[in-house]
Structure 1
Amino acid sequence: MNNEDLKITDNEFLRQFETTINGELAVIEYSQQDRKIFLTKLRLPETAKDHQEDFIKAVLTEIVETRNTRVVPTSPEIASYIRRNRRKYKDLLPVGINI
């Protein structure tokens, strides 16, 4: 499975990005303020742990394609992913935010 296989849904009511992995719900919760989106919590079912990076990448792609906003990763897992892929996502971070 790669991130192209994941269908990301933005559940604006619950303020979370959702997808189904191995038949179970995976979620990244967010908070939107001004032109920043704070990715606050990653919840993955135990059976989907090996798809964590695919899910994070798919959500970041969704944000790039559908929103004119900056990303502030407050979830440790998401911050770590962006840190490891710094070159690709550096333009998503607000000015002055280093992770």
Structure 2
Amino acid sequence: METIEVKDNEFLRQFETLVNEELITLEYSKQERKIFLSKILISDEKRADGTLEKFLTGIFDHIEERGRIRVVPTSKEVVNFFRANKSKYTDLLPIGMNI
């Protein structure tokens, strides 16, 4: 799978990428050692062509590389992605949380 570059814009508290001049974002908030992934902005065209999955893979890989932070998915898209990739990212969930 082709990867896309994901930038962590800490000032705006969002992950973002630019694909064919379209800015795609996923807002987040941090609390203690947890990151809450909430609102995603992406066109229907980009959802359908696989860009959403590539974007979320880039975000999860970025978070995994940082280590010591847990992911709390709070949007439908992120929950669905997590369920589909549970075996790869299960260590990112807070202890005791199941999706």
Q: From the superposition, tell whether residues 29 and 11 of structure 1 become closer, same or farther in structure 2 (CA, over 3 Å).
A: same
Distance in 1 of aligned mates of 2:27 and 2:54: 16
Deviation at 1:66, TM superposition (A): 2.5
3-state DSSP of counterpart to 2:95: coil
Stretches of 4+ aligned residues off by more than 6 angstroms: none
CA RMSD of aligned residues (A): 1.3
AA matched with 2:26 = I
**How big is each residue's C-alpha offset from its partner over 1:64-87, in whole Å with a ceiling of 9 and x where there is no partner?**
112420000001101111111111
Alignment match, 2:68: 68
TM-score, normalised to structure 2's length?
0.90
Alignment match, 2:93: 93
- The alignment of Structure 1 onto Structure 2 pairs a total of residues equal to 97
Q: From the superposition, tell whether residues 67 and 16 of structure 1 become closer, same or farther in structure 2 (CA, over 3 Å).
A: farther
Alignment match, 2:81: 81
TM-score, normalised to structure 1's length?
0.90
Alignment match, 2:53: 53
AA matched with 2:95 = V
**Structure 2: gaps (5+ residues):** none
Alignment match, 1:20: 18
